[in-house]
Every structure is written in structure tokens, then in C-alpha cells.
Structure 1
Amino acid sequence: MYRFAPSPTGDMHIGNLRAAIFNYICAKQKGVDFILRIEDTDTARNIAGKEEEIKEILKLFGISWQHFYVQSQNLKFHRQMALKLVSKKKAFACFCTSEELEAKKEAAKLAKKAYRYDGTCENLTDSEVLMNEKPFVIRLKKPSKTMEFEDLIKGKLKFEPEAVDSFVIMRADKTPTYNFACAVDDMLEGVTCIIRGEDHVSNTPKQEHIRASLNYDKKMSYAHLPIILNEEGVKMSKREAHSSVKWLLDEGILPESIANYLIMLGNKTPRELFTLEESFEFFDIKKVSKAPARFDLKKLLQLNREHIKLMSDEALCEALGFKDFKLNETLKKDFANLAKFYTQEASTIKELRAKFALIFGKKDFGEFSAECELILKALKDLNLPETYEEFKTSLMKATNLKGKSFFMPLRLVLTGSVHGPELAELYGFLKKFLKFRE
């Protein structure tokens, strides 16, 4: 089974979504279940409403799940497993204060050595533990041998015991640390493959060690996705607007386009344009590049234009805000065709809405008001010809306007803007909407 395990601590970023998409594709390819788990044990950072937002975003992308878990609801199991490790002498109570540990870390820093827990509390007797009234954490004893595992993207990875260390699995407030809760949950939920960002590579030996210490012997596969860089080649920050999936969607970039782009990112695909479902046929997690992938917003916008062209008339009209209008099939097609024509200069649904607002909304004719009124008056009485050349000639004759005094006002009347596509091309798409003006 595959899982996606986000925290409800902020906007979902593209790295999260990429991991969700890859896990979902692999689950579909293998014909196994997909799990959504909300990792909410960091209560201080949780944001109300983010859990539902995560669900809604996944649904927008066509990602469904067969099992849903909330990590905090597993607290009793986390505590039971921690006590089991203590009883088996695989974990121990540590009474070292944060001040004591900080002093040791500072000493290691001055000595230019990596800090490692020095085992102060590891060999305390049962009576010494029982007699001690200070708050304590629970630490898992470090592994006794080199740990290694095969990463589907990075290949074989090795970690020496010192790199894993005797790390904390339960805090003093009796809540689990990230690694312990995550490892136990994956074990309880039957997860068999974990695809996540490479910032989790250092967590993997710890989670493997936790499960091994609990005598869990089922094999776990891993794939750690390289980081995503911004356009300047620097690791993309969550503070950058376009790292937020919500921001991309609010800007009018389609879920289909975002999924298409994230599957392509750092990957070789047989073609550029495809849907999430179509990727089930060719996606191979082992072919994802080991190198960081650079995010290119321009490329995403190019894909978005192409996906807009592929939308059905009904879906495009709904996206443009015509959901509440009772449009017949002919009008839907006319509006959709006009929108698809405008993808030559509009890359998002948001930009297309702005174009439509100018075309069909109240216009500001400015310095060309007199000329525009002449054209509007002439349009009322004009039998619209088939070609733009005939249309232009007829209007010029009816208004006695020519040159800049004709073309600029005509563009304003038709589109609400002094700039835009060639009127000769636009006329065929706008002709059906021209009998409107007062």
C-alpha cells in the first residue's frame, strides 16, 4: 500500500502534491490501496481548516483514497509501542534536561565534532529510574550495525549507527516524535512503499530501526524525490507564491495542467501533454532523475493553455463563471471557442475571465468615445457579413471613419481593450455576439 501523509500546518506546496501524485499513480499501477493520513501531532503548528483543504485539493486533482487516518487518534498505540520497547530494554528513559543537552552540544561544536548523545541515562537501573522524579523522554537505543536500504531513485544508501544515534521517540509530555509516530503508523496501516521528498532521507534509517526494534519484518520500499529548485536554481521556498498549490489554482491554472507538469518535472515522459489517468500507462518511479528539478512557471503556463484547449465546452464555460447561466449547446460552444482562441495571449482561467469581462462588460471608451458611439450605432443596423473584410468595409462606409480613428475605436467596441489579437482573426469568434449594444 502507498500513503500520502501531509501535516495540516500550512498551504500544500508543490513538493507535497508531487509526492501525493506519485504515490497515487504507483498505487493505481500496482492495484493496491492508497492511504491519506493527516499527521497532526504537532498541535502547536496545526492550522484549523487545513485538513479539509488538503482533502479538497486532492479531490480537485482526481486523487481518491481507500483509507483515511488522523495520526493523533493513534496516540494510544504510540504509547503502547514505546512502553514495549522500554520493557524489552531497547529503549530507555532519559532525564537529561534541555540545558544539559545544550551545553554538551555547544562543547561538541567548540571541539568541532558532531554531537551525539553520550549515553548518560542509557544504563540506569530500574530503581534509579523509578526513584527519579524529573520529567523524562524516551530514547531508542542506537542500532548495533550499519543500516542500509535500497532507494528506488537514489540506489543503495548506508547509515552508520553513530549517524542514527540514540534518538528521542517520546517527548516528556508523552506525545510521540515525528519519526516514531510515522514509523508506527506505517507499520499498523500496512504501508509497503513510501515515496516522499529527499529531505526525509535522514529519517528513513530511524524509522527502519524503530520497526526493526518492534520486530516488524515486512519489507518497506522507498523512493526519495529530489528537491524542486526555483527559476534561479535555488531550493524553492514555501514563501514563494507559486510553490503553493492553492495559489496556482487561485491564479486559474488547471489541476490537470499542474499534475501534467509535476509528473514531467525531473522525469522523461513519452509526450508532453497527458492526463493523470494516462500517466498510469507509462510512469516509472525508477526513471525519476536523481538530480534536483528546476520549476519553470512559463512551461507550466504553456501546458495550461494546451489543457484549456482540451476542455469540454461545458467545463470551460463553468470555469469561466457561466455556471449559473442557462446556456444552450450552441452558446456554450461559441463561448468556449472564443476562450480557446484567446489562449494565444491568456494562459490561465483567471486571465480569460478578465478578457471576457472586458468584452462583455461595461467599457471605458476614453478619448475615442465619439467614434465608438458611431460604430455602436452603425452595428445596430448592420447585417453582419461573413468575412471581416466585408464587415470592416461596411462599418467604414456607415461611420465615415478610417485609419486610427476607425481601428482603435473598433477594437475598443469589440474587446474593451486597445490591444489584442488580430481583428481579422477575432471577427469570426465574436460575430455571433455583436447584436447586443445600446
Structure 2
Amino acid sequence: MSVKTRFAPSPTGYLHVGGARTALYSWLHAKANDGKFVLRIEDTDLERSTPEAVEAIMDGMRWLELDWNEGPIFQTHRFDRYKEVIQQLVDENKAYPCFCSKQRLDDLREQQMADKQKPRYDGKCRNLNADEIDLEQDHVIRFKNPEEGAVTFKDVVKGEITISNQELDDLIIARTDGSPTYNFTVVVDDWDMGITQVVRGDDHINNTPRQINIFKALNAQVPEFGHVPMILGDDGKKLSKRHGAVSVMQYRDDGYLPQAVLNYLVRLGWSHGDQEIFSVEQMIELFDINNINKAPSAFNTQKLNWLNQQYIKSLPVEEILPHLNWHLEQEGLSLEGGPDIAELIPEFAERVQTLKDLVAAIKPYYSNFDKFDEKAAKKHLRPVARQPLELVEQKLRALDNWQPDAIQQVINETVEELEVGMGKVGMPLRVAVTGAGMSPALDVTLNWIGQSRCLQRIQMALEFITQREQAE
């Protein structure tokens, strides 16, 4: 049987980290086995589902490049099919109408809890005679869960699991308005779509025995299940907004590369020896659904930052550029008229961890600034820096060969003439031309910024020093 997996989010919000990891594992299992991957949108919760959430989920999938072979398939487009299968189960005496009022069910639940019993439907309407059934009255449809025996399945993550049927009750498969419920629709969808493996969060594990019983009632092939543990924050609690970004697209906004996010997600619950960095091709080659960890994983932003930096350092510029361009557009920054970005990225890769940091670092090389970094200016643009800046400015202005070697020679000559240390010239000059206190080597920095911009900025620094002298 060919492998077919699915990712089936509810469109009630963004694509979160846990959902993205589930999608990745399902996608990798399909890819590793030359199978198919289906995107299904479980939008039967009409009150909470929104078109914006659908788009947010698909944006996240596209950004991560988790492409799907089929879909997106919307459950709301399949209501006729669900209605047909519900009627089939009723006709085969595998489901029945239930006329119990909400008040009766609430009272039943309260009594069971008072008696320290597990709350469950008591089967009052399970065996009604034909003359007791009036379908004109408000009613739901319940599935006739087996009353004897147990459900046993081998979870590819958790191992063998057995649940007694006496622990389960007759769940509702159609509400009073006729709309189908979650546990029923997913069974029909997985059956119709030929899904062979269901990978999902372990918060669904209690639904699985109920769904298996519905599969069996329909004489349908039961898929293999794998319930992955939740992702925790670094404090051991369930991952949430207090731990930072939980939306996949927020990671894009914060300057992470999709390759790094995928690499980080695959390691949040799966490993291959001590290897930390995996290309997508390596993930597909090495991933084994049977090797997903049983224990929850803790999200570590520092580790993600490190990983993102490794990708900035190692990816070809042409792979980084499409993602960098998005951030440049957000900043209104153009690379035209400036140095070749391919030269800057290797120089700054050791200094930045995100694309957002990279844009901030390269900004002085492509656009002017109107103020200096306050801390750097206070320390290095002092009255004592006037003479070194004036002399180096004269020499740079006279330079007709604007190349790193010639620029370095000018800086060296200034140091020798003033008989001062390199820092007395280099640091004020660095702050003057970049606006801040850190940059690559001064010769390449000035070369990238260009002669006219450097001279203009040194003049701005001298004016800053004059204002400072007057204020003092």
C-alpha cells in the first residue's frame, strides 16, 4: 500500500509551532516513502473558522515550503458526504437518534460525578422502539460504540495502547442542526482519502479509540497512528506566547530563515545520532516515523538563534536573498547603489543571528543616517577625536584610488603623523562612517560605504563634536 499522510489544521488562528512540526513529520514520512501528502482544512467549526486563518495557515506552509500533493480540501465542502455516511450507519443500526435534553444530560453528569463515576452517556436512547422515535423532535445522532471488548492499537510513538470499550460512550456524530462532529468527519475523510498514517499531537490520543471503532463500523481500513508529545517552553510548561513567538510567520517576521526553522522543528522530537544540521534532502533521507521521541521537547530560542546563524553563514547568497529582500522591503531599504551584498553577508554572518539583525547591520552601507548611536558617540566622538578625524578626512579626500589597501595606508599614515595608537583614529572614524561602534575591518568598511558618503559622515561627526564642545 502506498503511503499517504495528511495535515489537517482547524482554521481558527495562525499556523503554530506544534502544528508546523506535525505537518513536517507527516510531510517527511510521505516524501521518504515516495508517498503523497494531503492538506485538509477542518473548518466545521463555523463560528471560529475564518478565511484569514485559512490564509495564515497556507502562508506558513508555503513559507516553510511544505508542499502538498492534494488539497487544500475543506470539510465544509463535504457535508453531503458526511450526511450520507451518517445515514448509512443509522440504516445499519450502528448509530441512532438521541432525544435527551441538555438538562437531562447535565443532571446525569452531575449525578455521576457526585457518585465518583466517569461522566458518560448512559445509553437511554440506544435501543428505542420505532414508535418511540419521532424525528420531528430535536435530536442528535449517536454512534453505537461496542459495549464489550477493547480497542488495541500500536502507536508508532507511544507503543501499544489498549482502551476498554466500557470506558467509551456513544459519542455524538451529528448535532441537532445536522452538522457532523470532529471525531466523525476525520474518520470519513481519512477513509475517503486513503490516509495510511495519521501523525498528530498527543492531545488527540483519547479520540483515537473512538475513531477506530467508527472505522471498523464502516469496514474501513484503519490507518496507523502516531501521537507526538507536545512542545514545552524552556521552563517546562506548555509552549505559549509568553515564551516568545509561537506563530510560524512570526519567525519569518523576526528574521529566521525557513530552512533553519525546519531544521529546528525536526530536531524537536527526532534525532539522528549527534547530527544537528540537516538539509531538507537529508531530513527526507534519514527521517523515520518510528524514531520520534516519546518525551516532550523543550523549545530553546538560543538554540534556534545559533542554528539560524549557521544557515546565514553557510547558505549560498542566492538562497538567502529572497528572504533578506522581504526584510529590506519592510525597512524601505534598497541594495542599489551600494556594495555587492554577496561581499557583506560573509563579513556580518559571525555578528548577527537573524536577518533582521543583518538588515540593521548593513543599513549604513546602503543609506544615510541622521544620528549616531548614543553610547558609541559618547565614548568615541569626544573633542579629543577632532584632530584625528580632521587629518584622516583630508587624506581620504585627496585619495584618488578608493580601494581597501589605499584606505588602510591613509589610516596608518594618520596614526604615524599624530603618534597615537590605532584606536585613537580607528574608533572615532568607525563611529563617524557607520554611526555605531562595531563593523568589519575599517578598510573594507570605508570601501563599501564609498568616498563621498564617508567624507560627508566625517563632516557630520565633526559637527557633532563641535556641538558637544559648545554644550560643555
> How much has 1:401 moved relative to structure 2?
7.8
Measured in 2, the distance between the counterparts of 1:317 and 1:396 equals 39
Cα 1:187–1:399 shift into 2, 3 Å? farther
Q: Percent identity?
A: 33
* Corresponding residue of 1:228: 231
**AA aligned opposite 2:253:** D
> How much has 1:369 moved relative to structure 2?
8.4
Does residue 1:362 correspond to 2:330, yes or no?
no
Cα 1:385–1:394 shift into 2, 3 Å? farther
Residue-by-residue CA offset, 1:169-228 (whole Å, 9 max, x unaligned): 111111111111111111011111111111111111111111111121x24111111111
Measured in 2, the distance between the counterparts of 1:313 and 1:363 equals 30
CA contact (8 A) 2:365 2:448 kept: no
* Corresponding residue of 1:108: 112
* Corresponding residue of 1:320: 324
3-state SS in 2 of match to 1:280? helix
Measured in 1, the distance between the counterparts of 2:140 and 2:418 equals 86
**AA aligned opposite 2:50:** I
Normalised by the size of structure 1, how large is the TM-score?
Answer: 0.90
Measured in 2, the distance between the counterparts of 1:303 and 1:429 equals 27
CA contact (8 A) 1:317 1:336 kept: no
CA contact (8 A) 1:376 1:413 kept: no
Measured in 2, the distance between the counterparts of 1:78 and 1:147 equals 24
Cα 1:387–1:269 shift into 2, 3 Å? farther
Does residue 1:304 correspond to 2:321, yes or no?
no
**AA aligned opposite 1:205:** P
Residue-by-residue CA offset, 1:387-434 (whole Å, 9 max, x unaligned): 88645323446889867763442221343213x35x54x644653433
Residue-by-residue CA offset, 1:266-308 (whole Å, 9 max, x unaligned): 2222421122222111111111110001111110111100111
Measured in 2, the distance between the counterparts of 1:214 and 1:398 equals 92
Gaps of at least 5 residues in structure 1 are: none
CA contact (8 A) 2:173 2:184 kept: yes
> Which of 376, 380, 388 is residue 397 of structure 2 equivalent to?
380
> How much has 1:159 moved relative to structure 2?
0.9
Does residue 1:415 correspond to 2:419, yes or no?
no
Does residue 1:75 correspond to 2:79, yes or no?
yes
- Tell which structure's C-alpha radius of gyration is larger: 2
> Which of 341, 346, 357 is residue 352 of structure 2 equivalent to?
346
> Which of 258, 261, 269 is residue 261 of structure 2 equivalent to?
258
Residue-by-residue CA offset, 1:24-64 (whole Å, 9 max, x unaligned): 11111111111111111101111222222322321222221
**AA aligned opposite 1:435:** Q
**AA aligned opposite 2:152:** E
Measured in 2, the distance between the counterparts of 1:155 and 1:388 equals 67
> How much has 1:237 moved relative to structure 2?
2.5
Measured in 2, the distance between the counterparts of 1:359 and 1:291 equals 47
* Corresponding residue of 2:184: 180
Measured in 2, the distance between the counterparts of 1:181 and 1:295 equals 32
Cα RMSD, aligned residues only: 2.7
Cα 1:399–1:110 shift into 2, 3 Å? farther
**AA aligned opposite 2:55:** E
CA contact (8 A) 1:3 1:36 kept: yes
> Which of 37, 51, 56 is residue 53 of structure 1 equivalent to?
56
After the TM superposition, which of the residue ranges 120-129 and 387-396 deviates more from structure 2?
A: 387-396
Measured in 2, the distance between the counterparts of 1:212 and 1:356 equals 61
Measured in 2, the distance between the counterparts of 1:156 and 1:345 equals 49
CA contact (8 A) 1:359 1:416 kept: no
**AA aligned opposite 2:257:** L
> How much has 1:23 moved relative to structure 2?
0.8
After the TM superposition, which of the residue ranges 113-122 and 383-392 deviates more from structure 2?
A: 383-392
**AA aligned opposite 2:412:** T
Measured in 2, the distance between the counterparts of 1:238 and 1:187 equals 36
Cα 1:412–1:121 shift into 2, 3 Å? same
Normalised by the size of structure 2, how large is the TM-score?
Answer: 0.84
**AA aligned opposite 1:410:** L
> Which of 141, 148, 152 is residue 148 of structure 1 equivalent to?
152
Measured in 1, the distance between the counterparts of 2:97 and 2:345 equals 65
Measured in 1, the distance between the counterparts of 2:129 and 2:141 equals 15
Cα 1:430–1:135 shift into 2, 3 Å? farther
The number of aligned residues is: 430
Cα 1:429–1:153 shift into 2, 3 Å? farther
> How much has 1:358 moved relative to structure 2?
4.0
**AA aligned opposite 2:126:** E
Cα 1:310–1:83 shift into 2, 3 Å? same
**AA aligned opposite 1:197:** G
**AA aligned opposite 1:281:** E
> How much has 1:128 moved relative to structure 2?
1.2
CA contact (8 A) 2:407 2:447 kept: no
Measured in 2, the distance between the counterparts of 1:427 and 1:299 equals 34
Matches within 5 A, 1:162-181: 162-181=166-185
CA contact (8 A) 2:415 2:422 kept: no
> Which of 136, 139, 149 is residue 139 of structure 2 equivalent to?
136
Measured in 1, the distance between the counterparts of 2:56 and 2:394 equals 50
CA contact (8 A) 2:263 2:279 kept: yes
* Corresponding residue of 1:433: 449
3-state SS in 2 of match to 1:147? strand
Measured in 2, the distance between the counterparts of 1:404 and 1:277 equals 48
3-state SS in 1 of match to 2:451? coil
Measured in 2, the distance between the counterparts of 1:430 and 1:282 equals 46
> Which of 62, 65, 69 is residue 62 of structure 1 equivalent to?
65
CA contact (8 A) 1:359 1:414 kept: no
Cα 1:45–1:376 shift into 2, 3 Å? farther
CA contact (8 A) 1:387 1:428 kept: no
Cα 1:223–1:387 shift into 2, 3 Å? farther
Measured in 1, the distance between the counterparts of 2:33 and 2:42 equals 25
Residue-by-residue CA offset, 1:355-393 (whole Å, 9 max, x unaligned): 122444314145638858735554333344528864532
> How much has 1:162 moved relative to structure 2?
2.5
Does residue 1:33 correspond to 2:36, yes or no?
yes
3-state SS in 1 of match to 2:344? helix
